[in-house]
A and B are shown apart, each in its own frame.
Chain A
Amino acid sequence: EAQVTQNPRYLITVTGKKLTVTCSQNMNHEYMSWYRQDPGLGLRQIYYSMNVEVTDKGDVPEGYKVSRKEKRNFPLILESPSPNQTSLYFCASSSRRDPTSGRSTPSSYEQYFGPGTRLTVT
């Protein structure tokens, strides 16, 4: 089954304790992305990756790190979590191939989202 998986699904931690949220997709997608969702703010992009070893900042990258060593995995790292990083986090992946022509394009198409990770930092 085509899917995006995230672990853990729920996490309560304390300020300053490093943590990693894993994300994996089995669809051979080039594009992967992390978002945080907060009430009234919609989804805000943290980091994204157009392909292996290529990562770029989204709108809210401060306090986060990512890596893309393999195509299927895109972990999100919080080196020193703070309470303002309490949020619902979603990983997503997407193909960069035009579904009609099959050609590779600069941007991406429909995103497939993981189930979410609810993080609380106390």
Chain B
Amino acid sequence: GQQVMQIPQYQHVQEGEDFTTYCNSSTTLSNIQWYKQRPGGHPVFLIQLVKSGEVKKQKRLTFQFGEAKKNSSLHITATQTTDVGTYFCATTDSWGKFQFGAGTQVVVTP
């Protein structure tokens, strides 16, 4: 089945800096979803990408789906303390089965 690997596992960021987290697969993916989970909370949907090379922006967050549809990235500019949490990528097949990456835990230091 489809497997997605996320790197890095941990990311320590100074407030105001940018960072990127990556989601990679050895197989072509039909879609990528990104979720954010705050400490002690539940995952919250951020975005879904389905087209090759697709780029979507949400304020300071930029999501990209690779041309070959085997990788995706989430780039956050000017990190704020509200960005703390774990970011997961996920993909689903045509039959509804989901695969989540292990997540990137983001810690922001003021």
Write the residues of chain A forming the contact surface with B, with a CB cutoff of 8 angstroms.
31, 33, 35, 40-45, 48, 50, 56, 58-59, 90, 92, 106-116
Contacts and interface: CB of A to CB of B under 8 A. Distances in A.
Contact of A90 (B42, B95, B97): B42
Interface of B: 1, 6, 9, 30-31, 33, 35, 42-45, 48, 88, 90, 92-103
Contacts, number: 67
B92 A42 contact: no
Given A113-B42, A114-B42, A115-B42, A108 B96 contact: yes
Given A42-B103, A90-B42, A116-B42, A109 B98 contact: no
Nearest to A91: B42
Contacts of B88: 42-43
A35 to B, nearest CB: 8
| B30, B44, B102 — most chain A CB neighbours (10 Å) | B102
Nearest to A54: B96
Contacts of B6: 42
A56 B96 contact: yes
10 smallest beta-carbon distances between A and B, as pairs: A110-B45, A42-B102, A113-B42, A43-B100, A106-B94, A42-B100, A107-B92, A113-B43, A50-B96, A42-B103
B98 A112 contact: no
A107 to B, nearest CB: 5
B93 A107 contact: yes
A91 to B, nearest CB: 10
B48 A107 contact: no
B98 A58 contact: yes
A110 B98 CA distance: 11
A43 B94 contact: no
Given A56-B96, A110-B45, A113-B44, 16 more contacts: A33-B98, A41-B102, A43-B98, A45-B99, A48-B98, A56-B95, A59-B97, A90-B43, A92-B43, A106-B94, A107-B94, A111-B43, A111-B45, A112-B45, A113-B42, A115-B42
